[in-house]
Amino acid sequence: MARLGTVQKKISLFTMIVTMSITFSFLSAANVRGGNLMDLTLVDVDGKKVSLDQVAGDQLLLLYFWATWCKPCRKAQPKVAALAEKYKDMVKVVGINVGELDSPKDIKKYISRQKITYTMLIDHNDEAVKKFSVAAIPVIILLDETGKILFRDHEPPANLDKFFSE
């Protein structure tokens, strides 16, 4: 029995190390792939081209990868909206709808029902998904003014205060 416990501990440790390695490799790959991560143009719900650089200006940029059919995304959305409202003078929030299942009409309905006020873009060609190594949604990524990733997770942070220098 004691030996079984030791084997289980080793497996748990190995699993944790592999998970952390994969996470850090995604973060570093996303930070170096394609140069500046904000050098990306997508379309809004009206088909107008929008550059992430233009949206961000000289502020932090919070990207929220989501889809209308994604239950965890629907749970995360109010938290993202709260961050967008609380930090509206310091952070630009951009929702990025992924996949090809949502039409612009579906997205507009969702925006209206949820009273979303932050910028919403569409990534039906997976350009942003590839550039940011998004494997599952929701994903929330916070970028600094240079395009460096400061935060990446499937849940929004409780607040963004720690990302501002005093």
d(CA 20, CA 16): 6
Domain boundaries, the chain: 33-163
CB atoms within 10 A of CB 99: 17
Over residues 91-102, the pLDDT tens digits come to 999 999 998 888
pTM: 0.76
pLDDT at 14 over 80: no
Over residues 17-76, the pLDDT tens digits come to 544 444 444 444 444 333 456 678 999 999 999 998 888 888 899 999 999 999 999 999
33-163: CATH topology: Glutaredoxin (3.40.30)
Average pLDDT for 137-150: 91
